[in-house]
Amino acid sequence: MGLFTFPGSKKGDYFSSTIYSSARTYSISEEQAMQIPAVKASVDLIASTVSQLPVYLYKELENGDINTIKKDSRIDLLNESMNQRETSAKIKRLLIKDLLFYGKAYLLNRYDQFFYLKANQVHPDFYTKDDLTIAGVEYRYDSPNASVILSEDEVISFDVGTEGVLVDGDQILQQAFNELDYSKNVMKNGALPVGVLKAASRLTEPAINRLRESWENLYGGSKNSSKTLILEEGLDYTPISLNPNDLQLNESAKTTLASVARLFNVPESMVNSLANKYGSLEMNNLHFLQYTVGPLINVIETTLNKELLDESEKIGGIYFRFDTSEVLRTTEKQKVETTIQLVKNGIISENEGRSRLDYKRIEKDYFTLNMASALKDVETGDITVINLGETIKQEDESDEDGDSRHPNDLII
């Protein structure tokens, strides 16, 4: 990510182009990281969750009410198909994957459609006019066929502010991948003893090669793991390797799994059934929404507001927001009990309650009110019976003895 002056600037009016470089190298690739079960489980969990959440357009009115804008072409692009060939769910999933691995994600906004650009193939160059602030940016996209220069106006850039887990979690991912590679080799070689074979007499090179080949054929591979080791006369075997139990690989794998879960900020119980920190599904989902999915959703929402709304819409209180209610989906029993309480307390109507439970609406809609409830004005003492729609006025007057009575004084 270089920083340059615009063409025509005076000589010397630029920052060094080596402040940042867009050509970053990674010690472990995205493909290698996705071979690690805990990484794949975490990425799939986060990406699939966000990809199925709908994005809506809202307008905040002056009185604080929120209206949903239902007819807008941008909503169809974000929730149905971003272009003629790709669904919105697929592209949202790819965007989240890039945000996790690289800390950045990109969309090409062209022909009134959105096209996915792979993050590690996009190289931005930033320009300055005053040596202090960024005045413009140009993107180079290295496609399989050629390099394409894209302008700032046609690229939507999502940025979480980090370098992604391939950089931030470099050591953890390398350790997890090495453990996986070691386990694979153990399974490949089975119980093949690794050590030194000593012969009483000197062996020729052809004899050594035949002995090694015979040894691997007899004892190599998982199918031969139960064979008994037999040494011919004059041969002596000395083991020089440690088995998985000696290396405590099982304990190490548990620790690595927990570290990977923390790296992605995912509750460990969601990728490891043996680790259940919270007692309920709702608490797990709440933690997942607030600390895992929430920051990513916020990045997407603020970027969409910045890139897809004009100034008049922003001033008018229009904004994009994800509907995250699906993340907090509880068990059927919890959902029914919560809905009953909301209807019973008059917070939602009967039809709104039926809608929450996916039941058909009834012809007449009602709010449930409690006849025992009433409101008392602190200043005047007037009592309003909500259900009757009547207000009992409390006038400031003198009693029979001529004493002045305050509106809030209680008469018995």
Q: In this predicted model, what pLDDT tens digit does every residue of 75-125 receive, in sequence order?
A: 999 999 999 999 999 999 999 999 999 999 999 999 999 999 999 999 998
In angstroms, the CA 3 to CA 39 distance is: 34
Q: Does residue 412 surpass a pLDDT of 60? A: no
Q: Which of 305, 303, 261, 321 is nearest to 105 (CA)?
A: 303
Residue 328 per-residue DSSP state: T
Question: Are the beta carbons of 201 and 211 closer than 8 angstroms?
Answer: no
Amino acid at 45: L
Strand 3-5, strand 122-128: pairing: parallel
Query: Model's pTM, two decimal places?
Result: 0.71
Domain residue extents for the chain: 12-193+246-329, 331-392
Kindly report, residue by residue over 277-327, the tens digit of the pLDDT. 655 666 777 888 889 999 999 999 999 999 999 999 999 999 999 998 777
